[in-house]
Amino acid sequence: MVFALYECMNQMLQTKLLLAMAFLMIGCGGSSKGTSGKEYELSGIHANVSLSQTGTMEAYEEVGQFTLTVSIEEPLAVDLPVDLTITDGTTQGDADFSVVSTVVIEAGQTTKDFDVVLVDDMLKEADEQFEIAIENNENVTSSDMLQISILPSDKLFIFGSYNSYNGNLGGRVGADTKCAQGMPLGSNYSYHAILSVSAADSVVNAPTNFGFAYDYPVQDVSGNVIWVNWAFLTGAAPLLDPTQVDTGVPLGYFWTGTEDMTYAASAATCASFTSTTAGGGSAGSIQSDRIHFWEVSGLCDAPKQLLCLGIQN
């Protein structure tokens, strides 16, 4: 009987010891849950965590996504979950962007990348802001925060005119009207001929005249980005991929009235594209390396196409 009593008391003592150990682990941060719900054993673990970019940054919707990185100074023997605090400013959450809420730096590593995905909602709107910060807890300390401004991208598309015209285009207004025929991109676009009709109205100053930014990317009708921006075009830079330029129709020579390397108005503009009898008009074509804006100087009574620009309103 004494032996049985001893065994009973021994079992009770072991049970109490196990309960005490469990209580101590819980009370001392023995494990942590990321927002995914997975448990991580982090007893005694503490790390200073950095975000690869802090302060403020701007990103165009057109970019689609960009990558940030969380990092620690030394690798750990265990996985470290880093929770992110995402705060809407003028954004509307998933309607404008998406980002994970927990990033896990794996054991033995010091960094982990994560993507911020921007939603291109095809709307003309004001800039939108949101913030990403690293959340502090018993295992993580950080003061890093990044405020992101999402800039709406004007959609800039180039395409070829379906018809060919002689040098009397009716000046700027007439040329733009010809590009708008049939509204090939839809009614929510404004249309202009990529054309130099005078020193003040040339390809190089089209962004100022037509109200779009020099740094918006230029796309073909299939959505391929063919120039990083308008300044890239007027810097005589090569096309990103000449084999993939889709102008919607087979494009031969097209009126430009433009010097090939300066993108200013040339001396050959068919009298600002109002005449079929003036001396001549410069014309360009898409070549293997880039779009040449002065490939030939043609007679003003010889029909040629137009290279057109569609700007999302």
Q: Tell me the pLDDT tens digit for each residue of 66-102.
A: 899 999 999 999 999 999 999 998 888 777 899 999 9
Lowest model confidence (mean pLDDT) among 142-146, 171-175, 224-228: 224-228
Contacts of 235 (CB under 8 A, 6+ apart): none
Lowest model confidence (mean pLDDT) among 28-42, 136-150, 264-278: 28-42
Place of tokens 């007439």: 174
The two tokens of residue 177 are 């009207």
Mean pLDDT value of segment 121-130: 68
> Is 308 or 238 the better-scoring residue by pLDDT?
308
**Which of 56, 60, 55, 28 lies closest to 41 in space, CA to CA?**
28
Mean pLDDT value of segment 136-159: 88
Q: What is the pLDDT of residue 220?
A: 85
> What are residue 258's DSSP bridge partners?
265
Measured distance CA(227)–CA(286) in Å, rounded: 13
DSSP letters spanning the chain:
-HHHHHHHHHHHHHHHHHHHHHHHHHHTT-EEE-TT--EEE-TT--EE-EESS-EEEEEEGGG-EEEEEEE-SS--SS-EEEEEEEEESSS-GGGTEEE-SEEEE-TT-SEEEEEEEEP--------EEEEEEEPP-SSEE---EEEEEEEPPPPEEEEE-SS-B-SB--HHHHHHHHHHTT-TT-TTEEEEE----SSSS-GGGHHHHHT--TTS-EE-TT--EEESSHHHHTTTPPPS-GGG---SS----EE--B-TTT-SB-S-BHHHHB-SSSS-EEEEEE-SSSEEEEEEEE-TTS-BEEEEEEEE-
Q: What is the pLDDT of residue 43?
A: 81
Domain layout of the chain by residue ranges: 46-151, 156-312
Lowest model confidence (mean pLDDT) among 38-47, 83-92, 127-136, 302-311: 38-47
Q: Is the pLDDT of residue 244 over 70?
A: no
Domain 156-312 has CATH 3.10.100.10: yes
* Contact status, residue 257 vs residue 273, Cβ threshold 8 Å: yes
**Which of 213, 201, 208, 200 lies closest to 176 in space, CA to CA?**
201
CATH number belonging to the domain at 46-151, selected among 2.60.40.2030, 3.10.110.10, 1.20.120.790, 1.10.1740.10: 2.60.40.2030
Residue 179 CA to chain centroid, in angstroms? 28
* Buried/exposed 230-256: b ≥16 CB within 10 Å, e otherwise: bebbbeeeebbeeeebbbbeebebbbb
Measured distance CA(253)–CA(234) in Å, rounded: 19
